[in-house]
A and B are shown apart, each in its own frame.
Chain A
């Protein structure tokens, strides 16, 4: 089923929960709503579910306007962070409860519950109460309960946040596979950008109730439209430096204290001439240059190691350049220590430029 949100707004007094949100979800698509807490992603989801009534705007399921349709008539399944299982009912009763309310015949109820339970790997737990299950099992039951009623739309509200890190990884893959197999249109709310990047077909990034970006994960990563998106997506986060881009002898250069690098023309064209722009560069686009200084490319900058954080596969080092700091991922074999002088090569082909006033990208908008 197709889903369309048009200028969807939720306001409590003077406070906006969501503001002019425009999202279109294709049939069978998996969309993530990503943002920090309080950004309006759950508000948007609850409006889709019918729990909140929109202040303005339109929710369409297919062509049908759903604004005033009560949640029970929307045929959506929802999975909550707190699982929200009914603790006084057994797993089986939890699974059949939505079907009972839809007046599905008893025999079919049992069959469907059994089938979903097998699919979720909880068939042996049917007689237990939720309180007797582990967090992972409870979340499977919750997911099962959302599926037994054969919804046209699946809503997830941070379903993995209460699970431990290892379980989160496996459940992530499982939900993704399940969604692809069943082909149910899904909206997945999360504050974890890794979850959003790995699972979603498209990601809607929200901040302060506003939609900041809505595009596929790779585009979000490579072509962030705003400063916020650039900083929020990616781990470790993108480095930002306040620079001035000047043009001399037909060549663009980005400069600040201690830094002077050449900028490819197609990247820096719109940044040039502004008194101050924000240069964004991801930690993996910076690398350590070994050997003696001198005679190298004009994208190398000298700095000093400020902090070293071993992450196992890489070391995350904080390098001080003039007054600024950048994070770099380096090979732990280099054995860098605090205070070591280093030279960093900037891969300016991947550099981003933003207007610090409007926070809009100077490349993609």
Chain B
């Protein structure tokens, strides 16, 4: 940077901000509209209006689902279960697989890495029907099918089944991400730990894992958010309203026959957004480390 704060350099600092501000305005407008409309009967642009078109008409009616529809809390809990289950699964498997792929040379390692990447590029919609048959088959397995508490099981029409499917779809990204983080850790540190008296597993757990905490955090947040927001897979494989997730619940408000109350949909959408926002505020630092490409600090 230029040390002299002349006219030119001040402009150089202000100009990018200005451009970014202008580009952000349309996005912000969307959010502002959502917030305003959830408290209005109708809106005219950003102005809340009542049914007769006069300015005003503020109401809490759109939020009534929170206390009138008991299902909302069930689906919220289901979404939470899905998001947490997915996060645990993705982090655990990715961390172990990523470590193995980064450190251990075994036959088929390159082929495995290539295939996972191709799988990741596969649109999940094309797999929906075949996965349906797989889930139906798992349903018939005793206990594992639909006899597990909290997640229901791993079969069709259970939260666990959805976790299983999403886990498979999320893993390629997770494994590659974790491998990248492990690749950045020097071999010397691992060798030092082996010589100091660690077993391989202990090196992974006590020496390497603490180094990639930012990576684990980032992956966990990513997985949590994608589990929380996922629509297609829970919508497809869960038919029971009570086992449904919040995204599917949102869809059910847009019925094909009755007129759609967009203000209510905005309210449910905002409700769904709140946990993610809170989560994001506390974890954005870690998320950035994905783009920064690894952990900082130490050597």
In the complex, the chain B residue whose C-beta lies closest to that of A78 is B195
Residues of B within 8 A of A130 (CB): 298-299
B188: CB under 8 A from chain A?
A: yes
Q: Is A87 an interface residue (CB 8 A)?
A: yes
Expressed in whole angstroms, the Cα–Cα distance for A97 and B193 within the complex equals 9
Chain B nearest CB: distance from A72 CB in Å?
4
In contact, A85 and B299 (Cβ under 8 angstroms): yes
* Interface flag for B198 (CB, 8 Å): yes
Q: Are B196 and A49 in contact (CB under 8 A)?
A: no
Asked if B239 is at the interface (CB within 8 A of a chain A CB), the reply is: no
B195 touches A49 (CB 8 A): yes
Do A101 and B191 touch (CB < 8 A)?
no
Contacts of A83 in B (CB 8 A): 188, 299
Inside 8 A of A102's CB, which chain B residues have their CB? 197
CB-defined contacts of A74 to chain B, threshold 8 Å: 195
Q: Is A166 an interface residue (CB 8 A)?
A: no
List, in ascending order, chain B residues with CB within 8 A of A88's CB.
210-211, 298
The one of A49, A87, A131, A149 that contacts B191, using a Cβ cutoff of 8 Å: A49
| Chain A: minimal CB distance from B93 (Å) | 23
Of A51, A129, A149, which contacts B196 at CB under 8 A? A149
* Chain B, 156-210, CB within 8 A of any chain A CB: 186, 188-189, 191-199, 207, 210
- Quick check: is A76 within 8 A (CB to CB) of the other chain? yes
A145 at the interface (CB under 8 A from B): yes
B297 interface residue (CB < 8 Å to A):
yes
Given the interface pairs A84-B186, A87-B299, the reply to whether A101 lies near B197 with Cβ below 8 Å is yes
Interface residues of B in 208-222 (CB under 8 A from A): 210-211
* CB of A269 within 8 Å of the partner chain: no
CA distance A80 to B207 in the complex (A): 16
A residues 33-82 near B (Cβ < 8 Å) are 46, 49-51, 70-72, 74, 76-78, 80-82
CB-CB < 8 A to A50: which residues of B?
A: 194-195
Residue in contact with B198 in the complex, picked from A49, A72, A78, A87, CB distance below 8 Å: A72
Distance in angstroms between the alpha carbons of A98 and B195 in the assembled complex: 8
Q: Which of B189, B191, B195 contacts A86 (CB 8 A)?
A: B189
Q: CB < 8 Å: which of A97, A98, A138, A149 contacts B299?
A: A138
Contact (Cβ within 8 A) B186 A82: yes
Q: How far is the CB of A184 from chain B (nearest CB, A)?
A: 15
* Per-residue interface assignment for chain A, residues 130 to 142, with 1 indicating a CB less than 8 Å from any chain B CB and 0 otherwise: 1100000010000
Inter-chain contacts of A145 with B (CB < 8 A): 192, 196
**Are A78's CB and B191's CB within 8 A?**
yes
What is the bound-complex CA distance between A72 and B188, given in angstroms?
Answer: 15
Q: Taking the nearest CB of chain B, how far is it from the CB of A152, in angstroms?
A: 13
Inter-chain contacts of B192 with A (CB < 8 A): 78, 80, 84-86, 145
* Residues on the A chain within 8 Å of B210, using CB: 86, 88
Residues 58-99 of B at the A interface (beta carbon under 8 Å) = none
Chain A residues near B194 (CB, 8 Å)? 50-51, 70-72
Q: Taking the nearest CB of chain B, how far is it from the CB of A280, in angstroms?
A: 37
Interface residue from A72, A77, A131 paired with B199 (Cβ < 8 Å): A72
Contact with A along B274-299 (1 / 0, CB 8 A): 00000000000000000000000111
Interface code B7-29, partner A: CB below 8 Å = 1, 0 otherwise?
A: 00000000000000000000000
Taking a contact as CB atoms under 8 Å apart, the answer to whether B299 and A86 are in contact is no
Task: Looking at the assembled complex, report how far the CB atom of A169 sits from the nearest CB atom of chain B, in whole angstroms.
Answer: 22
CB distance from B191 to the nearest CB of A (A): 5
Output the nearest chain B residue to A100 by Cβ-Cβ distance.
Answer: B197
Cα distance, A129 to B299, chains bound together (Å): 10
**Distance A82 CA – B189 CA, assembled complex (angstroms):** 8
Considering the chains assembled together, what is the distance between the CA atoms of A87 and B193 in angstroms?
Answer: 12
Closest to A98 in B: B196
Which residues of B sit under 8 angstroms from A98, Cβ to Cβ?
Answer: 196-197
Say yes or no: A86-B207 contact (C-beta < 8 A), given A81-B188, A130-B299. Answer: yes
Shortest Cβ distance from B196 into A: residue = A98
Tell me which of A49, A87, A145 has the highest count of chain B C-beta atoms within 10 A of its own C-beta: A87
Assembled-state Cα–Cα distance A78/B191 (Å): 9
Q: Which residues of chain B are within 8 angstroms of A82 by Cβ–Cβ distance?
A: 186, 188-189, 299
**Whole-angstrom distance between the Cβ of A209 and the nearest chain B Cβ:** 20
Within the assembled complex, what's the spacing in Å between the Cα atoms of A268 and B207? 60
In the complex, are the beta carbons of A84 and B198 less than 8 A apart?
no
Chain B residues lying within 8 Å of A149, measured Cβ to Cβ, are 196-197
Check if A84 sits within 8 Å of B298, measured CB to CB. no
Residues on A with beta carbons closer than 8 Å to the beta carbon of B193: 86
Q: Which 3 A-B pairs have the closest CB atoms?
A: A87-B298, A101-B197, A84-B188
Extra 8 A-B pairs, beta carbons < 8 Å, given A46-B191, A72-B196, A149-B196: A71-B191, A72-B194, A80-B188, A80-B191, A81-B188, A84-B186, A102-B197, A157-B188
13 A–B contacts, CB within 8 A, in A order:
A71-B194, A72-B196, A80-B188, A81-B188, A84-B188, A84-B191, A86-B189, A86-B193, A88-B211, A97-B196, A101-B198, A131-B299, A145-B192
